[in-house]
Amino acid sequence: ITHANAVFSNGSNKDTLPFRHWQFDSWWYEKGRGGNGSSRGRGPIGPFLGVYRWEADPFVFPSGMDRMQQMIKKPFVLHNRWFAPHNWYHQQNIPSSGWTLSS
């Protein structure tokens, strides 16, 4: 069973769920230095387990968060801990006001 299928594995009809939003905690995105499966947090413990890229890890949601949004049909609340020092955005030189990188 995939993570995406597990969301609905209890037999509930997604249209009758008594929720107004759906929260995804810090398990769905790429961490550390990125890559498929990096959301599992394997590797050295420390600052490199922060967000690598704020997109769904293909290991968790192969069809991405857009597909999950279509399936759930509820607003999402997304959470993360911190950004990894060598995150994708930093590597792409994407400017962001208020970002501070420290090690």
* Residue tagged 């420390």 (tokens): 46
Instruction: Tokens for 62, please give them.
Output: 């192969």
Rounded to an integer, what distance in angstroms lies between the CA atom of residue 102 and that of residue 86?
10
The answer to whether the pTM exceeds 0.85 is: no
Closest Cα to residue 27, out of 43, 40, 37? Answer: 40
**What pLDDT, in 10s, does the model give residues 32-76?**
877 777 776 555 544 457 888 888 888 888 889 898 888 888 888
